[in-house]
Amino acid sequence: MQATVLLCLLEVALVQAGDYSWTGPGENVKKSGGDPTTKNACLTDPMSCGCCLMQQQVHRMKMFFNRSLGEMEKELNNTRNILNHVRASRSAFSVSLTSDKKFTCIGPFRDDKIIQYKHVFINLGEGYSTDTGFFTVPRSGVYSLALTVYSDAGAPGNTLAACAGLLVNGQLVAGPREKNMQDQEDSATIVVALHLMAGDKVAVNLPIGCFLCDNSSHYNTFTGFLLYSTD
C-alpha cells in the first residue's frame, strides 16, 4: 500500500512538472481523458483518489503545524517579554566602608551622619550611590536589607560604641547597637525584609557618639536586594 501511494505521488509530481507518465511523453493526458491543460492528475483520473486523500491529509497536517508554530511563537514572545521585565527589575547592592589595608575609624561626630560606603562588591541596577550613601529603590517590591557594624575601642576600658541606624526616607527602621566599656571590640548584624516603594531612599545613619572601624577585611557591610516586584 505504501509503495502504491508513493507511486501515485511520484506520478502527480511528474505530471505537474510536464506532460510525462510512466509509459512516455503524452501518454498521461490520453489515458486520463482529461483536459490537456490540467496539471493535477487527482482532479481528472479516478484512479488517483488515493493520492487526493493523501494530499488532503498532508494539507491538514500542514495547517496543524502552522497553527502550532504560530502558538509556539506567541508563547516564545510572551516568555521573552517576561524575561526582559525580570532583567530590567533586577536590583542588588553590597558595599563596605573601605578597601584600604590600613585600619581606620570614622566618627564619632557631634551630629548624626549618613555613612558613605566606598567599597562596592556589587551594584546591580546602579541603585546605590557611593557619593551620597543612599540606595534609591528602582521599583516597588519586597527587599531584603542587611547591616553589619564593627568597632574597636582601641584598648581595654575605653568606650566601645559600635552602632548605626537603618533609615528609610529618614525614618529609623532598625539598628544594631553595642555601646559599653566592657569589650574592646564587637560587632552586630540585623537583617530585615521591607516592602519599599519606587523612589524610596534607604541609608545607614551613624548616630552621635558612635564610631565604626574597618579595613580591607570589610567588617562593616550594607547589603540589599529585591526579593520580588509588586508593581
pLDDT tens, position by position, 187-216: 889 999 999 999 999 999 999 988 899 999
Residue 16's DSSP bridge partners are none
- Check: CB of residue 27 under 8 Å from CB of residue 18: no
Q: Which fold has domain 90-229?
A: Jelly Rolls (2.60.120)
- CA 99 to CA 217: how far, in whole Å? 8
CA atoms within 13 A on the CB side of 61: 6
Contacts of 207 (CB under 8 A, 6+ apart): 112, 163, 164, 165, 175
Look at residue 206 in the predicted model and tell me its pLDDT: 94
Q: Inform me whether the pLDDT recorded for 91 exceeds 70.
A: yes
pLDDT of 225 higher than 80: yes
Across 10-24, 81-95, 204-218, least confident range: 10-24
- Tens digits of residue pLDDT in 147-180: 999 988 777 767 777 889 999 999 999 988 776 6
Q: How confident is the model at residue 53 (pLDDT cuts 50, 70, 90)?
A: confident
* Prediction pTM value: 0.63
Question: Between 2-17 and 49-88, two packed helices, what is the crossing angle to 10 degrees?
Answer: 90
The grid coordinates listed for 181 are 566599656
Band of pLDDT at residue 115, cut at 50, 70 and 90: very high
For residue 187 the three cell numbers come to 560587632
Handedness of CA 30, 36, 39, 45 (dihedral sign): negative
Q: Where in the chain is the domain with CATH 2.60.120.40?
A: 90-229
pLDDT at 46: 56
Amino acid making up residue 198: A
Would you give the DSSP letter of residue 41?
G
